[in-house]
Copies of this chain bind each other. A is one copy, B any other.
Amino acid sequence: MNQRTVPDVVVRRLTQYYYALRSCQERGLEIVSSQLLGEMLNVTAAQIRKDLSFFGGFGKQGIGYNVETLLEHVQRILGLKQEWPVALVGLGNLGRALLHYQGFAQEGFKIVAAFDADPRKVGTSAGGLTIHDDKEISQTVPAMGIRIAILALPPDKAQEVAESLVKAGVRALLNYAPVTLKVPEGVWVRQMDPLVALQSMTYYLVGNEAL
């Protein structure tokens, strides 16, 4: 299989399969149909079959998918069977909230290094970690084998920090700064932009009368 051929939208949806299958498992289901998965994900059963066909045929015609087997496959495909060390850059209110978010560690993402440019923060501790200066990214990130970073920075700092992270070996950036980061090919960015999320909902609040 050539992973290049899997559209990013399918990769993103795969995380929904992961949660849906876990919920099936918690409910004690052994087999799940593409119909039920479709209802859980709010897509058609045909879409489910098409999505999963990218990764090989897991289901049996007229029987459905074995929940445990499919969950195992989805976890492996998504890289969720391992622990990922994560760097956090920016220790303002948002950064601190993220540092205390239990969900990361529960799902195998462990924030192991924290960076901030503010000399008043450097050397202090937060969430059990000592805050390091941004300048130490180039040594600490490769030394700890970190390939994932979370940016909780003001917009004007994000691009520069992203570049130093990428140079240090980071390949996946979760960006809270409301800017589009420019990154080389092979580096992935997910944008946590509350503004865009709001702007994509107001569509439904106006009547579009003017159209």
Contacts and interface: CB of A to CB of B under 8 A. Distances in A.
B203 A11 contact: yes
A97 B166 CA distance: 26
A79 B171 contact: no
A129 interface: no
Contacts of A78: 199-200, 202-203, 206
B100 A93 contact: yes
Interface string A114-155: 000000000000000000000000000000000110100000
Contact of A200 (B1, B14, B101, B197): B14
A154 B55 CA distance: 35
A171 B205 contact: yes
A21 to B, nearest CB: 13
Given A101-B194, A194-B98, A195-B103, A171 B204 contact: yes
24 contacts: A1-B211, A9-B9, A11-B204, A16-B196, A18-B199, A76-B210, A77-B208, A78-B203, A78-B206, A79-B202, A79-B205, A80-B199, A82-B206, A84-B205, A92-B97, A103-B195, A107-B198, A107-B199, A109-B195, A150-B194, A172-B201, A172-B202, A172-B205, A192-B197
Interface of A: 1, 3, 9, 11-12, 14-16, 18-19, 55-56, 76-80, 82, 84, 86, 92-94, 96-98, 100-101, 103-104, 107, 109, 147-148, 150, 171-172, 174, 178, 180, 188, 190, 192, 194-206, 208, 210-211
